[in-house]
Amino acid sequence: MLDELKQDAQQRMEKALEALAQAFNKIRTGRAHPSLLDGIMVSYYGVDTPLAQVASIVIEDARTLSVTPWEKNIVPDVEKAIMKSDLGLNPTTAGTVIRLPLPSLTEETRKTYGRQARNEAEGGRIAIRNVRRNVLGDIKDLLKDKMISEDEERRAQDEVQKITDSYIAKVDQALAAKEKDLMEI
């Protein structure tokens, strides 16, 4: 029973780490990467659809993304959705191809993105600590119901804390890598 709780905690902490990685992908670095456009939704026949499902996204060079919608008639909608996003990109359209030149990051924007990355990392740490709190509550409930002894409870709490510490260390590593990536010119 305790092993199941620990496995559940690990799985939920892993999901928090995956969510953090997705959030980091949306923070722009100096290089072009298709995942920058993951959060953009396009109005496609009245339904908000992810950009990747209505167009192909290709890296042309280190600082340019190329978006080619599957249908000609949604080019203006795709363009509008990109301009509305908070990425600060100005699309240029040539026929059916939309090019997105990524401006080089200034020192100020790098610092802003660094703060955003630290906020996302703190959100990840909070999610991991919430998982720990929930699992520790479940362990206390087992003790209350006399399904485990106090020694088993103490051991399980220590193991859950070790799991939590390892995942928080992974969050810190991911943050350090993202900050290094952001500060690279």
H/E run at residue 48: strand 47-50
Overall domain count for the chain = 2
173: its two tokens:
């590593």
- What residues are paired with 99 via a beta bridge? 66, 92
- For the chain, percent of residues with pLDDT exceeding 90: 29
**Domain boundary pick from 70, 101, 132:** 101
pLDDT in tens, 52-102: 888 888 888 878 888 888 888 888 888 888 888 777 778 888 888 888 888
CA atoms within 13 A on the CB side of 72: 2
Domain coverage including residue 121: 2-26+106-183
**Domain boundary pick from 67, 101, 135:** 101
CATH number, position 73: 3.30.1360.40
- Considering the domain architecture, whether residues 110 and 179 belong to the same structural domain is answered as yes
Give the global pTM. 0.72
What is the overall mean pLDDT for the chain?
86
In the predicted structure, residue 130 carries a pLDDT above the cut 80: yes
Using pLDDT thresholds of 50, 70 and 90, give the confidence band for residue 11.
Answer: very high
**Domain boundary pick from 69, 101, 133:** 101
- Considering the domain architecture, whether residues 141 and 115 belong to the same structural domain is answered as yes
- Considering the domain architecture, whether residues 89 and 177 belong to the same structural domain is answered as no
- Considering the domain architecture, whether residues 110 and 96 belong to the same structural domain is answered as no
- Considering the domain architecture, whether residues 141 and 177 belong to the same structural domain is answered as yes
In the β-sheet with 55-61, what is the strand arrangement from edge to edge?
55-61, 64-69, 97-101, 92-94
